[in-house]
Amino acid sequence: MRNNEIDIAVIGSGPAGAQAAAEAVYNGAKVTLFDIGHEDKIYEPLIPESSFSEIRKIDPKQSHYFLGENFKNISSKHEAGIHLSPGRMSAITEGKKIFSTECHNFHILQSSALGGLGAAWGANCFEYDAHELERMGLPGADVQAMYPIITREIGVSGPKNSDLSNFIGTFDGIQPSLPLDSNAQKIFSNYMKRKALLNTRGFNLGQSVLATLSKPLKDREANPLYDMDFYANFGESVYRPKQTVSELLLKENFTYSPYSICQRIESIEPNNVQLYFKNSLNRAQNITCRARRVILAAGAIGSAQILLSSLGENNARLPLLCNRNHWIASLNLKMLGAKAGDRRHSLSQLTAIQTHPLNPNENIVAHFYSYRSLLLYRLIQESPFLPRTSLYLARLVMFLMIMVNTKFKQ
């Protein structure tokens, strides 16, 4: 490629890369987005556009997309990404074949998907406050001014004002909330009865703010409440970076280059950067190109690897921030004997924040998920009982079960 063919080369198609490419394209720059670009063309096309409960009753092929071919999603319970569906897990498994990352004390997830890890994210949304941004060395006012733009661009739904607004932001331009499911309604009702006491103890609960639509936006449709969000994205209701890339493909000044594994970047002279790639389908094929500028958005691990390789410091050590994260299985006894509604989404229903008594800027964050569409085999894997007994018990507690994803300070 000649030097003037690319104004900006973007490495990676995750949320950051896709949005950076869009901003550059809409401002007239010639942009090429380099990506590996794995897409699930096996499982998601098999899924009928129907509710989870209806599919469970009538589709004889459901095991293919719920459990994977040859039941391969029933894997080790210690494997990272075990909660992902077969189609979304494929981006992680393909990534393992490509990325040379080794770790012995925690799990690293890297995605080779079009959309990066954003192809499978849970759609929870937070706004960084000025204090958090300044601690990261970022201009608080400038970043915060972008939040209303992003909120309207990707489509965010949730309560306009809640007990969480002071912690996660107000989201100017937010769409109305989706309805809570039966489990979450009872939990939230119980919280409201004790709200004053719990708030004085630093505990706040509210409906989750999610990057999924409650009203149509552009060509996307509102979430149909089919409880299939872990497996499919009907109507493109949940924001995925792939949607932004698809819009950019209609622009003459944008090029998408898949199957590209960035090896290193070399600055030749001002406004002249050379990039070196390997083809993910044919590792023997080397690709080079030049651009005026590069935006490195290949994820925390991938971007660091490219940068160190470019500097010739492959053995250098870098600090890594990582949230401690625990899944807590719990039973909502208020659901005993109650009828569970069928229309629901699978994403986080509620978000809780517990502030530190001595430091209000250090919080514990928890997301509440109803278990139903995650399937019984996951419960049976964790059970100490025989499979038949475990299956019976799992059926009894399925509609009572809440999974709480608890995240601690980095």
Residues spanned by the domain of 234: 3-37+121-407
pLDDT one-digit tens code per residue, 65-84: 998 887 777 765 545 555 67
Is residue 262 domain-resident?
yes
Q: What is the CATH number of the domain that holds 299?
A: 3.50.50.60
- Overall number of domains in the chain: 1
pLDDT one-digit tens code per residue, 116-145: 999 988 999 999 888 888 888 999 889 999
Q: Give the whole-angstrom CA distance, residue 112 versus residue 106.
A: 20
pLDDT one-digit tens code per residue, 372-396: 888 887 778 778 889 889 888 888 8
Is residue 291 domain-resident?
yes
pTM of the entire predicted model: 0.91
Is residue 42 domain-resident?
no
Q: Give the whole-angstrom CA distance, residue 49 versus residue 62.
A: 12
Is residue 238 domain-resident?
yes
Q: Do 326 and 340 form a contact (C-beta atoms < 8 A)?
A: no
Is residue 304 domain-resident?
yes
Say which residue, 209 or 372, is predicted with more confidence: 209
Mean of per-residue pLDDT scores for the chain: 90
Is residue 225 domain-resident?
yes
Is residue 51 domain-resident?
no
The b-or-e profile of 202-237 (16+ CB within 10 A means b, else e) is ebbbbbbbbbbbbeebeebebbbbbbbbbbbbbbbb
Is residue 14 domain-resident?
yes
